[in-house]
Structure 1
């Protein structure tokens, strides 16, 4: 199966695209898909990870739900048709 990542703001700029599709297999997790995304777009790594761990200000969504808050984090298992998204911190004034 394939999983599509949507990237926003400077993450899309670093990756060179707003949408990146990665291959996933049965049993893969959001974390597995993130590793595959970073392999496809290595310029994202320094913005998304800090010493190999997800930066606290990065939000990861699966089908519109923040997996870090409402699901099992990066261990959330993927399902056919899932859409993933990476959001950098958002600030306003």
Structure 2
């Protein structure tokens, strides 16, 4: 029912921890953004349980750039995907 584009709060290099099509649970760390000077890291966590239907291809982001598209699944679909 819910879907959202997660966007970068900071600029830098992105290290994605999941692939497109992955099921992520609320609170999972989806990616980490490291500043160009490697002095600061920003974690991006899943706001709800869902599937990543689109992820960033370019590893460099600026604040506000989209990182991934997360879509919530209903309970039967989520259980089927977890099997």
The answer to which structure has the higher strand fraction is 2
The answer to which structure has the higher helix fraction is 1
Larger Rg: 2
